[in-house]
Amino acid sequence: MATLSVDLEVQAQATRAAARQLAQWSGADRQRLLSAIATTLEQEAPRILAANQADCEAATTEGIAPALYARLKLDADKLAAAIAGVRDLAQLPDPLGQIQIDRELDEGLILQRLTCPVGVLGVIFEARPDAVIQIASLAIKSGNGAILKGGREAICSCQAIVAAIAQALAEQQAPVEAIRLLTSREETLALLKLDRYVDLIIPRGSNSFVRFVQDNTHIPVLGHADGICHLYVDQAAAIEKTVTITVDAKTQYPAACNAIETLLIHEAIAPQFLPVVAAALHEKGVSLRGDAAAQTIVPMEAATEEDWRTEYSDLVLAVRLVPSLDAAIAHINEYGSGHTDAIATEDAAAAAQFFSQVDSAGVYHNCSTRFADGFRYGFGAEVGISTQKLPPRGPVGLEGLVTYKYVLSGDGQIAATYSGAQAKPFLHRDR
């Protein structure tokens, strides 16, 4: 382990140095680089698909779970879609060098706040080889280096993809070490300890996997473990519209993190609403688990305290009746995961209170929680969804891969001039 960490540290230093070079490339040059990568990936498609075939065969021999197999399998369509994603990304505006503040502190003393790359991303993902293509291209677009650690089962696929990317980088005279692939399991933990060389960890995988990553690193983590989303049906909800929203939020893609897990219903509207929504959900194959009050209106399995904390990721929905908007907000803040929560109501004041008091990254009114997504928000790319309180929060686009620095340019200015009894005042004039 000691040797491994030292090796990895040396490699990570090289990635950081390569990233620093990449950061100096212009936006147009990084755009061309991404186009070249897309072209090389297309040329190397047969090799990549063959490597994936080898991974799939080995995984089948080892008895891989069907869901994991589906994520591992890379067919020509999935690869073409990933490559199209690289071309789309190339076209997005350059996230670097954006001027956030441009201020004259005094005559000739100019302060600018400019976006710049974070540095080196540590990306750990299970199975999915197409994630390598996506993450590597996001890193290059944002001028970052990336150290990628793929699942053991996808090792041949990942190596073939990274070899193609490296070839494109070399052909374009770009720093090849900017994108690096790790393949051994021991390296995951070592990567999480590389505080000095890795600036941001992006985990892609199951809830428990993300939680493991969060618990084992001091490096900032972009992502979320749980997605326990709620729909609260207010007493002033429009029933038909709300039934449609409920069905979409639960069933349109139940495995998504932005699908609802708990339906809270104001007790005044429950006798009218619950039977209708229960029938509509039943038709889609959803099982309900309710508290005692809900069970008196529609027969369903009993929910326990544990249900309020569960992300089913499946066609199961917990149902709880609440006496008030306040009680609904309290339930969401207590049991939710801060992802996305919605209110259905025709009462604007109730919606405003919900917006203000629910502590979640997304607070919605009269629409499905399934809109919580970087592409749907118009970000062009999604790096992840964060449920932490501090920014970046919610669906995170390229913005999440850049930071900023303060650049101050003068011609000999010193602090003493602006201090003490004879202090010259600052101008603080935005330009």
Binding site residues, a second copy, CB under 8 A: 20, 23-24, 103, 105, 109, 111, 116, 118-119, 199-200, 220, 238, 241, 244-245, 247-249, 252-253, 351, 355-357, 359-368, 370-372, 376-378, 388-391, 393-395, 403-416, 418-419, 426, 428
Judged on CB neighbours under 10 Å (0-12, 13-18, 19+), 180 is buried
Kindly tell me which of 154 and 249 has the beta carbon lying closer to a second copy. Answer: 249
H or E segment and range at residue 112:
strand 109-117
Closer of 59 and 273 to a second copy (Cβ): 273
Of residues 93 and 391, the one with the C-beta less far from a second copy: 391
Give min distance, CB of 100 to a second copy, in A: 10
CB of residue 395 vs a second copy: minimum separation in angstroms?
Answer: 8
72 or 329, CB closer to a second copy? 329
Interatomic CA distance for residues 114 and 97, integer angstroms? 5
CA-based radius of gyration for the chain: 25
| Both tokens assigned to 29 | 């040059």
- Rounded-to-integer distance, Cα 124 and Cα 94, Å: 25
- Tell me whether residue 32 or residue 103 sits nearer to a second copy (CB atom): 103
| Shortest separation between residue 75's beta carbon and a second copy, angstroms | 19
Apex CA 386: angle with CA 382 and CA 392, to 5°?
Answer: 80
Question: What string of DSSP letters covers 119-186?
Answer: -EEEEEESS-THHHHHHHHHHHHTT-EEEEE--GGGHHHHHHHHHHHHHHHHHTT--GGGEEEE--TH
Which residue lies nearer to a second copy by CB, 304 or 409? Answer: 409
Distance CA 182, CA 248 (A): 39
What is the longest distance spanned by two Cα atoms in the chain?
81
- Shortest distance in whole angstroms from residue 32 CB to a second copy: 19
SS (H, E, C) 164-178: HHHHHHHHCCCCHHH
Question: Smaller CB distance to a second copy: residue 31 or 360?
Answer: 360
CB of 196 to a second copy, least distance (A): 10
Comparison of 132 and 385: residue with beta carbon closer to a second copy: 385
The least distance separating a second copy from the CB of residue 374, rounded to whole angstroms, comes to: 11
Strands (DSSP E) along 16-98, which ranges? none
Q: Minimum distance from CB of 414 to a second copy (Å)?
A: 4
| Residue 35 Cβ vs a second copy, minimum distance, rounded to whole Å | 23
Between CA 131 and CA 124 the distance in angstroms is 10
